[in-house]
Chain A
Amino acid sequence: MSQNLVELSVNGSIQVMWAWESDTLLHVLREVLGLTGTKNGCEAGHCGACTVWIDGIPRLACLTPVGSVVNSEITTVEGLGSWWQERHPSSHYHPIQRAFVESGAVQCGFCTPGMLMAAAALLRDVKFLTDQDILERLAGHLCRCTGYEQIVQAIRQAALTEVTEQ
């Protein structure tokens, strides 16, 4: 048994490394690639802090063996801004990032990267958001600081921004 040469596409660039195929994507992102924006809150799929996009779909990095996503495109919170910029060259930052800042949705910030990835996928997938959409799509993200209200407000605000920008 030995490690495998694993090739990953992360935030638009190809990364090649030696890893166990069963290593979690969370471990690889944080410990091998140094992309520490993705947080480790429980390592068991209970908190949502490690949410990243795998081929555009929000999933939990702590539940994903890196060997299962070798041909996939992975986007983390560090790459969220450039993902947006590719589509909207006027800004380095996704409107949801600005909205979190402006709505007071960030306190300790540890759940924030996961929340952002879930929220950005929601904004991309659903054109006219209802509050129900927000509650459903964030149902797997625990936050201990905010009581959630300002996070919901931020997503509402970003939804408006997105609509006006397009």
Chain B
Amino acid sequence: MTVKAPDLIPMSLGTNVKHRIDAWAKVTGQALYADDIRWPNMAYGVLVASPYPHARIVKIDLEPARTRPGVLAAIAGPGSVAPYGIMPSTQDEQAMATEKVIYLGEPVAAIAATTLDAAREAAHHILCEYEMLKPVLRPGVEQARPLIDPVHPERPQKDLFKEVDLEFGDTAEGFVHAFKTAEDTFFYQGSAHVAMEPHSALGYWTPEGRVELVTATQTPHYVQRELAVALGIDTYRIRVRTSVVGGGFGGKSELFPHEIATVLLSRACGRPVKITLSREEVFYAHRGRHPVSMKVKTAWDNNGKIQAMDFQSVLDGGAYASYGLATTYYTGALQTVSYAIPRYHFHAERWYTNKPPCGPKRGHGTTQPRALLEVHFDRVARELGIDPIELRRRNLTPPYSVTVNQLEVGSSGLQTCLDKVESLSNWHARHVRHEPDRGLGFACSTYLSGAGLPIYWNSLPHSGVRMAVNRDGSVQVFCGLTDIGQGAETMLVVLVAKALGINADRIRVHTADTATTPVDLGSYSSRVSMMAGNAVLEAAQRMHQILKDSVCAHKGVEPSQVTQDGEVFHVQGDEAVPFTQAVLWAEEDIGPLTTFGSYTPPKVLGHYKGAGVGPSPAYSFTACVADVKVDRGDGRIRVHHLWVAHDLGTPLHRPSVEGQIRGGVVMGLGEVLMERQVFNPDGRHRGPHLLGYLIPSIQDIPPITVAVVGEPDPKGPMGAKEVGQGPLNPVIPAVINAISDAVGIDLNETPVTPDNVLRALDQQSRRQRL
């Protein structure tokens, strides 16, 4: 970090939006996160959680708690009138467990009191009796040990949540004629989002029978829909707004029990209720990265071109479905987007276990297979005697092509990404360096700019924008998108300022409120810039047309005689018309100025089951080189430098782009070196706190050189593609490949702990002695 990174991020959009629009509120303490909000007469709620990973509930007695001082309401399950869940086909959650608890930390009751202290104190007086069951802690354990109680005994397939088998082309054929075949296995450990803000929500069941929910969420629209299912009331009665959100990374993208509980407690006590999770509870609410065991087999010709791939993954899903259906498919979807694989077979299973539910985390389901794929390619390159980057280069999926699994790839700067990190890292000089135990490793990756299909099937737009221009000359943008810290609101301002040619300070954005903003599906799958961006551009272009039409009408000229330059309309042979005058004329002509814009992604090409997971309007690409030193004494990995090149089309807002790339890269670094959501043999989390689950501190960051490459994407708003998730993916395999380059050990597991390194080095020296 002490090395000044070269300035490799172009600023191609000329706007005056230098800074994030929410930054001042955040540096002065004015920004209100959910836990900062206090409504009049508000009560404080807490959840009562299961202390066991797997147990039958014998009894829950609320009475002793109800008489404690300050207690307003106490409730126990199920809370929801029907099972709910983010994916319509796998709704398996209740607000509170009723018959069985299936992960440690699962809520079984909730209590509201006049103060937080009183609520916490009273919670101890709720009597819960359990009959403990053996926890299921590994996927598929029930096959080996049929006597063990499954997590979900009521399901016909028991704990097998989903099995997927897809084949494109004749894979067996590819292996028969191969010049070389190779095989690798890998276990990618689960990891948590660890947004700095713990989840928090305020719920109010109003006297009119409506529901107000203010919550730290990435997906207010989905929360509203799920809440309607869970509460059994009409969706229109529910208003969901987001507060300022202190980070998400996928961890706040669906309805959570505490959100339902605030509303139920409010209904029970007549007051608004706030529930804020403790850091411990956040680790149990989870929905983080799935632990995945994987196996890859590939067939190659003598030129180092891949002929066929067989990819298998087994996902440890935890207690509930969450986004797991999508995750399962994602572990096989994007292999073909980076590499032109002519024949491809993919098999995946996701299993329930007695652990906090897994779900989407930055890189959703693509991070784990990417780690194996890139490690595997390096090993194949070594065996074929081809430079690792060169091997990739021979296999890149061409821009504007269709993959074997029917994904339509548009613009691709992957080749440029490769070239960039290759030259920045001085890759080809690596073998003439003579520092022992130091090495370079390479990897590349790809990610979606928004999922092609919504979570629930419909043909409606994925993002809608309503725009108003007031006679005071201000522009209001209403959009359901959610700024979770990534800068989504600033992105809207950038695009509107550019499209209308006006000063950014005229623009105010109103977001993430189901009562006032058109639907945007939410901040997930890196979809916001692509979809809300295109929607807001459409609204802005229509607004521009209205203003221009009025200028023409009032000046009596043809549209061809009017041009715009900044906030001025130039009229051929006449006086210029300021933007503000145009606004007044337009309102005079047609009334209050309002336009709409929306975005619907292109139709999905594939027709097979599962074809809906993987398509995207555009893909981002990333390449990374890691410079790593391995200490043989203590097994510590020291990363000296990371070079990252990312193709995101047009960078819309330079500081946000840089921040997203650096943040993603550092999160990847954490995953490969230290992060692990793991459980003791009794099902207890290894350490549900920030000394037990480590994330990188400022002292753990190497210098990171960031380069933005690529060309404007034809489908992106002003050419933009995603930046929020992609840059995380290549870091993990790049570091593992660098370790291999440094000391010749092939690691097949994350995170790379000192224990694992020492063991591998020990095995290596034993082998060498033999």
Contacts and interface: CB of A to CB of B under 8 A. Distances in A.
A149 B249 CA distance: 19
A118 B615 CA distance: 45
A84 B660 CA distance: 31
A58 interface: no
Contact of B5 (A76, A111, A144, A149): A149
Contacts of B245: 108
Contact of A147 (B249, B276, B656, B704): B704
Interface in A110-163: 110-113, 116, 131-132, 135, 138-152
A62 to B, nearest CB: 11
Contacts of B574: none
Given A76-B29, A93-B28, A97-B28, A107 B487 contact: yes
Contacts, number: 178
A8 interface: no
A69 interface: no
A108 B247 contact: yes
A70 B357 CA distance: 44
A47 interface: yes
Contacts of B249: 144
A150 B279 contact: no
Nearest to A136: B699
B369 to A, nearest CB: 24
A83 B249 CA distance: 35
B1 A135 contact: yes
Given A110-B246, A131-B1, A146-B662, A104 B656 contact: yes
B32 interface: yes
A35 interface: yes
B198 A41 contact: yes
A113 B29 contact: yes
Name the interface size band of chain A.
Answer: 35 or more
Given A41-B196, A101-B24, A147-B662, A36 B244 contact: no
A33 B244 CA distance: 20
B484 A147 contact: no
21 contacts: A36-B33, A37-B29, A37-B30, A40-B35, A43-B279, A76-B29, A77-B29, A101-B27, A102-B18, A104-B659, A108-B196, A108-B485, A109-B22, A109-B485, A139-B697, A139-B698, A142-B196, A142-B695, A145-B659, A147-B665, A149-B704
A67 to B, nearest CB: 16
B659 A36 contact: no
Interface in B215-247: 244-247
Contacts of B698: 135, 138-139, 141, 143, 148, 151-152
Contacts of B196: 39, 41, 47, 49, 108, 110-111, 142-145
Interface string B17-38: 0111011111111111101101
A110 B28 contact: no
Given A46-B691, A104-B20, 15 more contacts: A36-B32, A37-B29, A39-B246, A97-B24, A106-B26, A106-B27, A107-B485, A107-B486, A108-B245, A108-B485, A110-B247, A142-B697, A144-B195, A149-B662, A152-B1
A-B CB proximity, top 8 nearest: A37-B29, A108-B485, A104-B655, A109-B26, A147-B662, A110-B246, A36-B36, A46-B690
A104 B663 contact: no
Contact of A148 (B20, B31, B33, B666): B666
A100 B655 CA distance: 11
Interface residues of B, number: 60
Given A109-B31, A135-B1, A150 B19 contact: no
A81 interface: yes
Interface string B189-207: 0000111111000000000
A56 to B, nearest CB: 18
Contacts of B276: 40
B116 interface: yes
Contacts of B23: 100-101, 106, 109
B485 A116 contact: no
Interface of B: 1-2, 5, 18-20, 22-33, 35-36, 38, 116, 193-198, 244-247, 249, 276, 278-279, 484-487, 654-656, 658-659, 662-667, 689-691, 695, 697-699, 701, 704
Contacts of B22: 106, 109
Interface string A7-34: 0000000000000000000000011001
Chain B contact residues: helix, strand, loop or mixed: loop
Contact of A39 (B5, B18, B197, B701): B197
Contacts of B24: 97, 101
A38 B33 CA distance: 11
A145 B660 CA distance: 7
Contact of B27 (A112, A139, A145): A112
A43 B281 CA distance: 12
Contact of B659 (A47, A49, A116, A146): A146
Nearest to A151: B698
Contacts of B689: 42, 44, 46
A35 B29 contact: yes
A78 interface: yes
A135 B695 CA distance: 16
Nearest to A36: B36
A64 interface: no
B347 to A, nearest CB: 34
